[in-house]
Amino acid sequence: MRLTQVIRFPEKLLSNVHRGTAFEKRALSLLTEHMSMSLTRVGGSNDGGVDLIGWWWVPGEWGLANRRRLRVLAQCKAEKRKMGPGYLRELEGVVYRHAAPASDLASGDLPHHDDAPAPAEPPPIALLVSESAFTRGCLLAANASPLPSLLVHLPPNGGPGSGGGAVGAIFGNAALVSARGVLRGELEILWEHGVPFVGNGRPRLWWQGRPLPSWTPDNANADATLLT
């Protein structure tokens, strides 16, 4: 007779895992539907600190006719405490490790804030999506960072004890949204409040003074299939 060992995980641990997974899926849905991002959940113990990875499709040099893609590496944090600068530094380290050449990783040398990225290709976008708000220190640290960063506050949906009264927010740092940033000052990233079908509001991209419809190649291919 062979005995099978049953491993029991603490209920709180399982609850946190489920909560984190649900938040990642919620963030993924929001970014796809409203931010022109095509992302994939990584997950697992070998995710390298990345929860979502993929591309951000923004207007190119010739406008909407030829969108350019920007690499995105995201972490999703479903925590009750506010996000301080330490969370941003953690994400920066993850992004630098993914962007660094293999030779640099082998030697242990990682880029510093003073190191300028190669001009041929924009650096990856560091995306931090949090269920709790960001501290002032975190926002200041993000704006001072040379790494293009996007911080999204996505509060819990409405419900008893869920903090559903909170309103979402989005913040792009200077390395991302300024005239000298990756987006060249051409794209505005705003959070719209009071949208009836989204309890906490939603992000919206604006380009040349007009709202920019969310677009990804997958959506475009699906639309083309429907027309055939």
DSSP 8-state secondary structure symbol assigned to residue 73: E
Neighbours of 201 (CB within 10 A): 19
User: What would the pLDDT profile of 164-202 be if each residue is shown by its tens digit?
Assistant: 456 799 999 999 999 999 999 999 999 987 655 456 788
How distant, in Å, are the alpha carbons of 4, 49, 127 from that of 46? 27, 8, 19
How high is the pLDDT of residue 167? 76
pLDDT in tens, 23-71: 999 999 999 999 999 999 997 666 789 999 999 999 987 777 789 999 9
The mean predicted confidence, pLDDT, of the chain is 81
Structural contact between residues 77 and 128, judged by C-beta atoms closer than 8 angstroms: yes
- What residue type is assigned to position 201 of the chain? G
pTM: 0.80
Structural domains of the chain, ranges and CATH numbers in brackets:
11-98+122-227 (3.40.1350)
Name the packing angle between helices 85-99 and 136-144 (round to 10°). Answer: 30
What burial letters (b/e) apply to 103-114, b meaning 16+ CB within 10 Å?
A: eeeeeeeebeee
pLDDT exceeds 90 at position 1: no
Dihedral sign for Cα atoms in the order 50, 28, 187, 144: negative
Has residue 9 got a pLDDT over 50? no
Query: Model confidence over 86-140: pLDDT tens digits?
Result: 999 999 999 999 887 544 444 444 445 555 444 467 899 999 999 999 999 999 9
Q: Taking 70 as the threshold, does the pLDDT of residue 151 lie above it?
A: yes
- Are 32 and 25 in contact by the 8 Å Cβ rule? The answer is no
pLDDT, tens digit, 9 for 90 and up, residues 75-87: 999 999 999 999 9
Please indicate whether residue 154 or residue 224 has the higher confidence score (pLDDT): 154
What Cα–Cα distance (Å) separates residue 57 from each residue in 31, 116, 208?
11, 24, 16
CB atoms within 10 A of CB 149: 24
